[in-house]
Amino acid sequence: MVVNSIPGIYITAVALVCSTGLLVLLIAGAVLFLRRGSIQDVSRAPSVTAPERPPDAGLEAQVMAYMRQGKKLDAIRVYRQATLAGLKEAKDAVERIEAGAPPHQQESQHVNYPLREDWRPEVESLLRQGKKIDAIRVFRMATGAGLKEAKDVVDALEAGLPYSAPQAPAPADPVELRRQVEDLLRRRNKLEAIRAYRQATGKGLKEAKDEVEEIERQIIL
């Protein structure tokens, strides 16, 4: 009787192993199906982009410090970290800062001398709204002042202290200005040439850039 029962035990064991293997396969298939579905759900989910932060008052000074050291990539990296801007936008903003323009100034916009006199109501309104950065930007666009000078005036205005607004520059000697620009261009310092041209003439970034590039072409020819 014992001998005759061995085939039956063997068959039972084989059936049990097969059943167990089938169960494992079913469980594995279910897990893979669920994981694939979750991955597809994640891939279909809309991406969330962090909102861009406005640059703070000290950011431009930090960018300029890097640019004076010849560390343009570090300047762009710092600007991106502070504002969450994209690479191209950060690069353009850094180049505008180096040329003495507001980081978000449109190329078609520029400030001409004589200076605007209507900046104060708008600046005071922005200060009352707690928008100091915008107040500084408006003051710079209206007067052509540098970052530090604009910040000092806005700080004084906010505190109710006396201040001295920038005055329009005296007309530049065209011969001396051209000599200065040519000298900077020959030293491969084009951005500094544009900055000097803007400070001497009060022209906007695009107009100054175009005229400096025309001088550059004449030097090459």
How many CB atoms are located within 10 Å of the residue 129 CB? 10
How many CB atoms are located within 10 Å of the residue 221 CB? 5
Backbone φ, ψ for residue 203 (5° rounding): -80, 160
The string of pLDDT tens digits covering residues 113-161 is: 334 557 788 888 899 998 888 888 888 777 767 777 788 888 888 887 7
Alpha-helical segments (H) within 45-171: 59-68, 72-83, 87-98, 119-128, 132-143, 147-159
Please give the structure tokens belonging to residue 124: 């005071």
| Percent of the chain predicted with pLDDT > 70 | 58
Per the prediction, the chain carries an average pLDDT of 71
Please give the model's pTM, rounded to 2 decimal places: 0.32
Question: Is the bond preceding 114 in cis, omega lying within 30 degrees of 0?
Answer: yes
Going by the DSSP 8-state scheme, the letter that residue 105 receives in this structure is -
Q: How many CA atoms lie within 13 A of 12 on its CB side?
A: 5
Q: Taking 80 as the threshold, does the pLDDT of residue 76 lie above it?
A: yes
- Say if CB 16 and CB 9 are below 8 A apart: no
